[in-house]
Amino acid sequence: MRKTLLLSSLLIWSFQIMATQSVRLRTDTTLVVSGTVAPSTIPMNVDAPSGDGTSETAPGKLYFPIENTTGAINSHLYFINPVASVFNVTDASHLASIPLRINANAGATYLWAAVKDTTNSNLYKPIKSFGVVSASAQSDVLFNFAPADICTAIPSECSVLLPTSTSETEKIFTVYFFLSTQSTYGATDTINPATLNTGIYFQMFMSNRVYSDADLRITINKIRVGDKRLVLEYSASATLSTSTAKSVKVFRHNGAPAAVNMPVASYLGSGSFLSTDYSYKQTSEIEVADLQNAISYTLSVAFVDKYNFATTLSAAVTETPLEIQELLKKNQCYLLTAGFGEDHYVITYFRHFRDTVLENSYLGRKFVHFYYSTAPKYAVIIYKHEFIRATIRGAAYVLYFVFNYIYIVAFVFIGVIGVIIYRNRSRFALILLFRENL
């Protein structure tokens, strides 16, 4: 009986040890993947999985910028990082270092990567071994993984990504990182992740896409002047892929650009991207802040995807930020300018209202005279207090809406009164009856 209990305990202990064996992402730090394209080391864009990465439908995502046709107008011209920092799918030294957390059993345990082969019934083919991992409840490793590891295993899927290819495309490969007692696998061997149940999935995005002006043209429609800032209103003729769109960036030219809608490389050395990344939207406005007043800026806009490829630059615009005192003198709508701190369509509207409505009546002219005799004294004080500025902006937006949509306001007001009367109709009926009996 005692031997049976001891044997059962050992079996339970063994199963518990086996159950803890796993490959996971580190959860104690932000997921960071660096790329090595000698001699450069670059940060790579990566999306953490929505869960722990153990589901094929919710994997982590890693984005490899791939070299395009050598000698042509290629991806290098549109790459924000140095030219050397693109991956070649035939070079095994072009690596991404993927951080993994390992829980391994005692004995020889190997860490492997397998790729989903869509040309062979979606089977997973082991393609690269990290080597033996230590038997430990927890150890952290960097798995150096190359696009060449995939493209050597399934070359037919990578033919459009070769440096000699004239195609421009995006390919997505699913890779499974797992533990195994096998030190080697044959060229035709496959694994079933469902039976292993120890690893995690990554989607490896690879693109050699070139953005041309014909694909997507960005236009700066308007530039608004502010104190130490400029606001650019832009629109684009098309959208980036929703799965790979990353940000909007502003390019500052050192001088006047020679042409419009040119690739980034045409301006390298004659300007640079500003450090701020703005949230990607096809049509929006961005505030370029922390500028110096009274200095002229020539700016363009570009979209950037998760491969760090940039679109062609928009036509440049030139403007000069102004100190609040100069901005107040320019706009003369003192309180509104202090509230917004820049040129704004609401200010333009009320300036037009002043000139076409107030100036055409006696009382209106009196109000304008009173306003300009008092408002300048308080404008700079208002500008220094954000709460007062926010209050002025809120009131201005309300008045702007009321003046422009008076019929809607009147309709809503009448509707509210009607609802109040309907809900209190019995009370109103009693009041009317009481008055009739007086």
DSSP assignment of 58-77: S-EEEEEEB--STTSS-GGG
Interhelix angle for 406-423 vs 386-404, to 10°?
90
Question: Each residue of 304-361: pLDDT tens digit?
Answer: 999 988 888 888 999 888 776 565 556 667 666 666 666 777 777 777 767 677 677 8
CB count in 10 Å sphere of residue 261: 17
Amino acid identity for residue 15 in this structure: F
Instruction: Please count the CA atoms within 13 angstroms of the CA of 384 that sit on its side-chain side.
Output: 5
CA count, 13 A, side-chain hemisphere, 126: 22
CB atoms inside a 10 Å sphere around CB 197? 12
23-54 pLDDT, tens digit each: 999 877 889 999 998 888 888 999 999 888 99
Place of tokens 């003046």: 403
Element (H, E) at 221: strand 218-226
177 close to 112: Cβ distance less than 8 angstroms: yes
Residue 1 has what pLDDT?
A: 45
* Nearest alpha-carbon partner for 339 in 291, 386, 408: 386
Q: Which residues of 418-438 are buried (b: 16+ CB within 10 A; e: fewer)?
A: eeeeeeeeeeeeeeeeeeeee
User: How far from 191 is each of 20, 101, 112, 162, 356, CA to CA, in Å?
Assistant: 20, 21, 11, 27, 77
Residue of 316, 311, 333 whose CA lies nearest to 324: 333
Q: Which of 305, 291, 310, 308 is nearest to 223 (CA)?
A: 291
Whole-number pLDDT of residue 15: 38
- CATH architecture of the domain 218-319 equals Sandwich (2.60)
Bridge partners of residue 177, in order along the sequence: 113, 200
Q: Supply the pLDDT for residue 45.
A: 93
The two tokens of residue 124 are: 């997973």
- Answer for the pair 349, 399: CB distance below 8 angstroms, yes or no: no
Q: How far apart are CA 329 and CA 416, in angstroms?
A: 43
Distance CA 433, CA 424 (A): 14
Is the N-terminal amide bond of 263 cis, ω within 30° of 0? Answer: no
DSSP assignment letter at 358: G
**307-333: burial string, b at 16+ Cβ within 10 Å, e else:** bbbbbbbbebbebebbebeebbeebeb
Please state, in angstroms and as integers, the Cα–Cα distance from residue 14 to each residue in 10, 180, 199, following that order: 6, 17, 19
Note whether 246 and 278 are within 8 A (CB). no
Give the three-state DSSP class for 350.
helix
What pLDDT does residue 104 have?
Answer: 85
Query: How far is 117 from 276, CA to CA, in rounded Å?
Result: 40
Here the tokens at position 365 are: 């002219």
Q: Where are the domains of the chain?
A: 19-207, 218-319, 324-404, 408-437
List of the chain residues with pLDDT < 50: 1-19, 71-76, 82
Distances (CA, A) of 124 to 156, 177, 178, 193, 336: 16, 11, 11, 8, 64
Q: What is the C-alpha separation between 331 and 83, in angstroms, rounded?
A: 45
- d(Cα 224, Cα 354) in Å, to the nearest integer? 21
CA 114 to chain centre: 30
With a pLDDT cut of 70, the percent of the chain lying above it is 73
Rounded Cα–Cα distance for residues 53 and 43 (Å):
21
